[in-house]
Amino acid sequence: MHSAPRSRLWTAPQSPACWPRWASTGALALTIPKFLSYVEKFLRVRSRETRRRSPEFEVETAFERIVIAPNCSLSVQGALLFFGGMCTVSFGIAGLMALQGYWPILPFAGLEMALLGWALKVSMARRHHHQTITVSETDVCIESRSGSQSVKVVFPRHWARVTLRRPSSRLHPSRLVIESSGRQCEVGGFLTEEERRGLAVRLQRLIGRVNESPSLA
């Protein structure tokens, strides 16, 4: 009787001795990550050199920015409705009085409504007025904008001084000014007394006294 042939397990041939070392799988697994790390380091160094050589690259410095604006909660539509209602009531009463013979009341009613319209116009114009105070390590920049008009004043921070001047009478508000070398600029003229005092304390902390430059960090 013939015996059944035995099954043989197939084994992969080993790498010949003439193959180079880098051809083995283990060597490739170690070489590729190392090569990628070298490429990444090279790209980082080139990026740093490019940023240093570029004239457009600027180092950011610390600064503080304060934006102040008047409190104008009345919208344009609300102002028109209010003015129209007041005109209706005022001229209605004046017309009834004129029918009874008191016609001189009509010019006074017209004058009152003209003054009211002017006051509303001034109040609406204040909505576009604001001031931006930027305090950097070297300068204090104050930009006052009213509609399309803009005025910018720059003081050296080391020589700038913040002063809250008392009013000459009780009916006049106080004045908050930033001054240096004979020049001055008033800020926060549309704020309330309490808001102006709070702004003065904050600016004095940021700007400091003359010959002082507190850290902005």
Q: Domain spanning 63-70+130-207 has what CATH number?
A: 2.30.29
> What proportion of the chain, given as a percentage, has pLDDT over 90?
24
pLDDT value at position 169? Answer: 79
Going by C-beta distance under 8 Å and a sequence separation of 6 or more, which residues neighbour residue 144? 129, 131, 150, 151, 152, 153, 185
> CA nearest 72: which of 34, 119, 27?
119
Q: Which of 14-23, 60-69, 92-101 has the lowest mean pLDDT?
A: 14-23
Distances (CA, A) of 147 to 104, 118, 125, 126, 142: 40, 18, 8, 9, 16
pLDDT for 174 beyond 50: yes
pLDDT at 77 over 60: yes
As a whole number, mean pLDDT of residues 76-102 equals 90
Share of the chain above pLDDT 70, in %: 68
- In this prediction, residue 1 carries a pLDDT of 47
pLDDT at 104: 87
Domain ranges of the chain: 63-70+130-207, 76-127
Q: Which has the higher per-residue pLDDT, 181 or 215?
A: 181
What one-character-per-residue DSSP string does 30-41 give? HHHHHHHHHHHH
- When mean pLDDT is compared across 36-50, 78-92, 111-125, 175-189, the lowest value belongs to 36-50
Indicate the average pLDDT of the chain: 77
Entry pTM: 0.56
Torsions phi, psi for 154 (to 5 deg) = -120, 130
Exposure b/e, 193-212, CB count within 10 A at least 16 = b: eeebeebbeebeebbbeeee
Farthest-apart Cα atoms in the chain, separation: 148
pLDDT of residue 51: 46
DSSP letters for 78-101: HHHHHHHHHHHHHHHHHHHHHHTT
pLDDT digits (tens, 9 = 90+) for 20-56: 444 445 544 555 566 666 666 666 655 555 444 434 4
Over range 49-75, report the average pLDDT: 64
Helix or strand or coil: residue 135?
strand
Q: What is the pLDDT of residues 104-153, one digit of tens each?
A: 888 999 999 999 999 988 888 877 788 999 998 889 999 998 877 889 99
Reported as half-sphere exposure (CB side, CA atoms, 13 A), residue 28 has a value of 4
In this structure, of 4-8, 164-168, 195-199, 203-207, the range with the lowest mean pLDDT score is: 4-8
Q: How many CB atoms lie within 10 A of CB 72?
A: 15
